[in-house]
Amino acid sequence: MSGEKLTPSSGASSGSVDVVKGINGLDKVVLRDPRGSSAEVYLYGAHVTSWKNDHGEELLFVSNKAIFKPPKPIRGGIPICFPQFSNLGPLDGHGFARIRFWSIDNNPPPLQTNTSSKTFVDLILKPSEEDARVWPHSYEYRLRVALGPAGELLLTSRVRNTNADGKPFSFTFAYHTYFSVSDISEVRVEGLETLDYLDNLQHRERFTEQGDALTFESEVDKIYLSTPTKIAILDHEKKRTFVVRKEGLPDAVVWNPWDKKAKAMADFGDEEYKFMLCVEGAAIEKPIALKPGEEWRGRLELSAVPSSYCSGQLDPHKVLHGI
């Protein structure tokens, strides 16, 4: 693939970052780690559409019917919901960040991280005149997409209030991550037991989750509140566990449309609900409020590890509690 090199090539040990043409001629950035993992992010929406491990296995779900044509959002991967989650406000569902063209930020302010990733790209979104009419605030939204040394995918969002008029603003947010799973009926989610949640299928009424791991046999659309920093998604058939680690994102959305909703979505295959699950690091119940000059940071780290077994059962405690 030919394209623009974003970082000087300094040998295989540094990985590579290239800008190439993706579907329908849309620009995308391809990150490759020297150990074999990779990620792809479209400038349209700053949308991660691929994350592969060092065996080349795709870890994210993107619908075969996804429409890569602005102004349609891309179905799957990791859409960014900003400055509004879902219909919780006056804007179009999930806000506008996922349907705007972002720019590569070649000179971002320093970002303190606790990983040694050298394979990353920095993107930036600033308000357009169109956005200012519906959300009249000045801001800078910086996103770093990085591959970690063990093949983990790292997304760091920084949103700064640059209003010159002294006005604060608030927003809700989610990394709307679509994980690829072998069979939704064989998947368990650990880490959300006994927590309160808002059920989007019950007019956002508040309930308390029972004490067992989450399993799936029908449509689910829940916003879990005050969630732990670590959540595990266990795929029994693939013997693989996704670990979601998050900072600055107190909530977690769990979504699967199941069969009826799947059939009603033009950009989603009728049977594809079986092969995906959204578990989303989010800030929804309490909107993030920023005064001029203040910055919010929300970080997501995704990793995929072989599942442990204990007396014939998957043992997520080793993953969740670092045993």
Per-residue pLDDT tens digits for 244-270: 999 999 999 999 999 999 999 999 999
Region 16-308: CATH code: 2.70.98.10
From 40, 272, 280, 285, the catalytic residue = 280
Nearest-10 Cα torsion for 42, 43, 48, 54: 60
Active site residue 294: no
Q: Is 166 left (phi over 0), alpha (psi -120 to 50) or beta?
A: left
Q: What pLDDT shows up at residue 5? A: 62
Which residue has 């916003």 as its token pair? 223
- Under DSSP, the state recorded for 306 is E
Q: What pLDDT shows up at residue 315? A: 52
Residue 168, Cβ neighbours under 10 Å: how many? 12
Longest Cα separation, the chain: 62
Active site residue 47: no
216 has a pLDDT exceeding 90 = yes
Which residue has 């690829």 as its token pair? 180
CA torsion through residues 180, 248, 97, 222, sign: positive
* 93-111 mean pLDDT: 94
Distance linking the first and last C-alpha atoms of the chain? 43
Q: Residue 204, CB half-sphere, CA atoms under 13 Å: how many? A: 8
As a whole number of angstroms, the distance between CA 200 and CA 150 comes to 36
- Give tens-digit pLDDT for 17-33: 999 999 999 999 999 99
- The three-state secondary structure class of 53 is coil
* 215-223 mean pLDDT: 98
From 47, 94, 137, 176, the catalytic residue = 176
pTM exceeds cut of 0.75: yes
Q: Does residue 28 contact residue 16 with C-beta atoms inside 8 Å?
A: no
Neighbour-count burial of 110, counting CB atoms closer than 10 A to its CB (0-12 exposed, 13-18 middle, 19+ buried): exposed
